[in-house]
Amino acid sequence: MKKREASHRTESALRRDAQALRASQLYYVQHLTMDSIARDLGTSRSTVSRLLTYARDAGMVTITITEHERQAPETAAAIARTFGVRVHVVPTDGGLSEAQVLDRVALQAALLVGRLVDSEMTIGVAWGSTMSAISRHLKRKPTHDSVVVQLNGSGNTQSSGIGYSSEILHRFGTAFTARVEQFPVPTFFDHAETREMMWQERSVRRVLDLHAHMGLAVFGLGTIGAEVPSHVYRGGYLTPLDISALRRQDVVGDIATVFFRADGDTAGIELNRRSTGPALDLLKTVPRRLCAVAGQSKVPALAAALHAGYITDLVVDEGAARHLVRHHERHAATR
């Protein structure tokens, strides 16, 4: 009985896949109306709509909007010219909350990740509020022999952090049928000497070697004062003394818990010696470095990261993009 039920479910799934594929071909390639497709399939218009939605979610259909430089919005073109990056500005309006803006940016970033990921690729994935949002919007794209590797540890004195980071990594691994490699170390060691010793361990070296061979890194930017606070600043990772020290050292943000100043410099920031994130000079060797940013409060950190060359591909909301251009113009005028 159970075998017959399983067989029936398999046949039903195959039938649905075949119908979804046919409906997609008729709709997107042949440009038939939904009513015409419904007659072709012998079903209802609402069923055709559900089949098309299923086809998109299952990765049978991908929709690409190509934004040529001459067609790009003025703000995106200005950012691209100034910083030499590929820019995707997400349309938003002033009536959206910062959480809603983040969700829109995450959706666009997830689509871009899907285009960039390929077989036999090592994909470095950070964790945090932005990365969690991106992971929820990923569409399935099967690949072969690809690896998703955690960029920085996620443990702290209150939690191992494994549940939070592994959920993000699992979504990436599932979307791209990739092997997942976690980084089972704390976000920050208590002592820099401990980190140096751990970095000699073979189990840790294996993950660090994956970092050295990444083809794509995906990350957000952490900032202390964002309206949607970065997870590292609200999840028990930093003590009040740590945050005070970062402010004294003029830190404006972090990438995968590696901190930098307004000029992008990381030198002399004590907490970086205890951080398990990749050195940003190493990050700059990764061919594609996709950063997603939502909210104007992150603009100082974004400007610093762009000036330092840490980003090759940027997804940013419209309000933050305009603020970034004004921020650059003001600082350029004072130089």
- Please tell me the distance from the alpha carbon of residue 131 to that of residue 218, in angstroms, as a whole number: 8
> What pLDDT does 160 receive?
47
Give the pLDDT confidence of 102-146 residue by residue, as tens digits: 999 999 999 999 999 999 999 999 998 899 999 999 999 999 999
- Please tell me the distance from the alpha carbon of residue 109 to that of residue 268, in angstroms, as a whole number: 32
Is the pLDDT score of 29 beyond 80? no
Is the pLDDT score of 253 beyond 60? yes
Is the pLDDT score of 275 beyond 90? yes
- Please tell me the distance from the alpha carbon of residue 41 to that of residue 51, in angstroms, as a whole number: 11
Per-residue pLDDT, averaged over 311-335, amounts to 88
Contact of 269 with 304, CB cutoff 8 Å? no
- Please tell me the distance from the alpha carbon of residue 286 to that of residue 217, in angstroms, as a whole number: 7
Site of tokens 């350029």: 332
Per-residue pLDDT, averaged over 255-276, amounts to 95
> What pLDDT does 7 receive?
56
Banded model confidence at residue 266, pLDDT cuts 50, 70, 90: very high
Give the pLDDT confidence of 141-191 residue by residue, as tens digits: 999 999 999 999 886 545 544 556 889 999 999 999 999 999 989 999 999
- Please tell me the distance from the alpha carbon of residue 85 to that of residue 72, in angstroms, as a whole number: 13
Provide, rounded to the nearest whole percent, the portion of the chain with pLDDT above 70: 88
253 vs 334, residue with greater confidence: 253
Q: SS in 3 state form for 285-297?
A: CCCEEEEEECCHH
Is the pLDDT score of 85 beyond 90? yes
